Amino acid sequence: MQADYVIVGAGSGGCAVAYRLAEAGHSVIVVEAGGSDAGPFIQMPGALSYPMNMARYDWGYQTEPEPHLGGRRLACPRGRVLGGSSSINGMVYVRGHARDYDHWADQGADGWRFADVLPYFRRMENWQSDASAWRGQGGPLHVSRGKRENPLFDAFIAAGQQAGYPVTEDYNGAQQEGFGAMEATIHAGQRWSAARAYLRPAIATGHVRVVRGHAARVVFDADNRATGVVLADGQTCHARAEVVLAASSINTPKLLMLSGIGPAAHLAEHGIVPRADRAGVGQNLQDHLELYLQYAASQPITLFKYWNLPGKAWVGAQWLLARKGPGASNQFEACAFIRSRAGVEYPDIQYHFLPIAVRYDGQAVAEGHGFQTHVGPMRSASRGWVKLASPRPEDAPRICFNYMSDPQDWQDFRDCIRLTREIMGQAAFAPYLDREIQPGAHVQEDAALDAFIRAHVESAYHPCGTARMGRRDDPRAVVDPQGRVIGVDGLRVADSSIFPRITNGNLNAPSIMVGEKIADHILGRSLPALNLEPWVHPDWQQAQR
């Protein structure tokens, strides 16, 4: 139970760190509470609604009653399985906008500008398209696009163009803004998680060992240096060099606090002796919220035709025998990033389009054939927290996102609904759209829209920010720009906890990039910066599109 490095969490960041440390010849123990990612529910892209609702694969966290959502408790799924949340997510691949990372650097994350992180995105990718200075090929992570065989995908892109928005050839390249094809971590019809991309090749080197266990706390020596991790069963994994926490933006702050690193007064409430009084641990919690705007289809061309026992059996058989058919896609094959109003420099609204009207828990609407677009703002000012419920490692933490606490959130969501209605009303949808199911054409006034938002808004499952990266003299920072926990030695964080601010879009790609870059900081090296200028709408100050 000893290695050069001990990593807690076999998720997106942890797997990437393990791979790069093993590649450099170091021995690594990866501690993971969950079990195997084998089986069709995880590996079949079309079955994505199952694993995040299965206790076998998910920590099963819920928020506290959210005060601005009528006291609703929202689900907060986090992967408890090899691959972490990359094994239960929607497989959508979004880097974020270049300006997101420039903002990180402006907030004290020196060395994390887009020019600094772009080489890491390139290194990790195996992009299944033509070579581009913006994209990577030959990396561990396969990134592909769906076939867009359903005509509704192209109708969505065409409708955006008819509404006056640009079409982008590659939202992960020079131009995020616009409508276009969505990308996914899918390869040969299967989910390409961090476990497949990074962990299995790392284990194959002989340098990496996975220890199944629940991390209880980090162990320190008399000089305040991390020397290992104690598991709930009493065993200790010893680290000769460093300990790396990559346990998610929910479990990493929990583990830091259980180890005596966090707000001293909160630790004292639970009888924990503070080792490093860091006010920012568990604070700055952020997420993306979204609405499902649903429409009844006038033609039976949606995935609802498979929403019965024979249909599901046929889809499953196609996938099991040939890794083909609807089950080989996550069905998020078209998307958009737009700006909500003039004066916004880069996109602050994201769309996922789906050719069925269905919820994340797999429940289809009663009306039958339909389709939906998931829409939500990207940069809410609302901030929440993660706190200990008790000093016992087995107890779930308390989580409150404080969703919709900023007044601008309400205006942003109203804008989302009204802009979406305009897009769906374009001629491209005329052959396919019957009527609006949700919220319904009668819901028009601000108060009615707000009531709908309050009752129906859902998490996009993008929590981050609870161990914020910043300069060492920043009292709210938890880690420095090399991922080192401030106030102790030999301990780093390499997951979405360190994001100063949430990025545009889904968080799996940035989380893997963090693992890649923190690994290089551990190894004392870095890739040279790559200065490519992203496209920004030339008239963004005066025009919304």
Same structural domain, 362 and 489: no
397 occurs within a structural domain: no
pLDDT of 362: 64
- Catalytic status, residue 103: no
Q: What is the pLDDT of residue 358?
A: 82
Q: Are residues 409 and 330 in the same domain?
A: yes
Buried residues in 258-282 as b, exposed as e (16+ CB within 10 A): bbbbbbbebbeeeebebbbebebbb
Same domain, 210 and 332: no
User: What pLDDT sits at residue 436?
Assistant: 95
Indicate the burial class of 513 (C-beta count within 10 angstroms; 0-12, 13-18, 19 or more). Answer: buried
Based on the domain organization, do 506 and 450 belong to the same domain?
no
Determine whether the annotation assigns residue 479 to a binding site: no
Regarding whether 429 and 312 lie in a shared domain, the answer is: yes
Q: Are 31 and 215 in contact (CB under 8 A)?
A: yes
- On whether both 194 and 313 belong to a single domain, the answer is no
Q: Which of 62, 95, 194 has the alpha carbon at shortest distance from 458?
A: 62
Answer whether residue 67 is part of any domain: no
In a domain, 70, yes or no: no
Active site residue: 374, 462, 521, 537, which one? 462
Token match 């033509």: residue? 130
- Could you tell me the strand order of the sheet in which 183-184 lies? 125-127, 141-145, 183-184
Q: Which structure tokens are listed for 509?
A: 């790609």
Q: Are residues 298 and 250 in the same domain?
A: no
Residues 49 and 163 in one domain: no
pLDDT less than 70: residues of the chain? 360-366
91 is in an annotated binding site: yes
Tokens standing for 31?
Answer: 């501690």
- Strand ranges, E, within 170-288: 178-181, 183-184, 186-187, 190-191, 208-212, 215-220, 226-231, 236-245, 261-262, 276-277
* Domain span at 365: 147-181+289-377+404-456
Q: Which helix (H) or strand (E) holds 475?
A: none
- For residue 189, which amino acid is it? G
The verdict on residue 398 lying in a domain is: no
In this structure, what CATH number is given to the domain that contains residue 421?
3.30.410.40
Q: Using CB atoms within 10 A of its CB, is residue 318 exposed (0-12), middle (13-18) or buried (19+)?
A: middle
| CA nearest neighbour of 496 among 215, 246, 124, 279 | 246
d(CA 349, CA 347): 6
* 128 lies in some domain: yes
User: Do 412 and 436 sit in the same domain of this protein?
Assistant: yes
Annotation-wise, does 90 bind a ligand? Answer: yes
Supply the pLDDT for residue 70: 96
Angle (CA) 279 280 282, round 5° = 110
What's the total number of domains in the chain?
A: 2
Whole-number Å distance between alpha carbons of 469 and 529: 20
Distance, first Cα to last Cα, the chain = 57
The CATH number that applies at residue 28 is 3.50.50.60
In a domain, residue 327? The reply is yes
Q: Tell me, yes or no, whether 122 and 197 share the same domain.
A: yes
pLDDT of residue 361: 66
| pLDDT attached to residue 366 | 62
Note whether residue 72 is domain-resident.
Answer: no
Do the domain assignments include residue 68?
no
Per the listing, tokens 């870095």 go with 526
Identify whether residues 338 and 204 lie together within a single domain.
Answer: no
> Are residues 371 and 231 part of one domain?
no
State the pLDDT at residue 363. Answer: 66
Single residue among 456, 488, 522 that ends a domain in this structure: 456
Helix (H) or strand (E) holding 3: strand 2-8
Contact 250, 459 (CB under 8 A): no
Are 189 and 319 spatial neighbours (Cβ–Cβ below 8 Å)? Answer: yes
pTM surpassing 0.85?
yes
Distance of alpha carbon 286 from alpha carbon 245, whole angstroms: 19
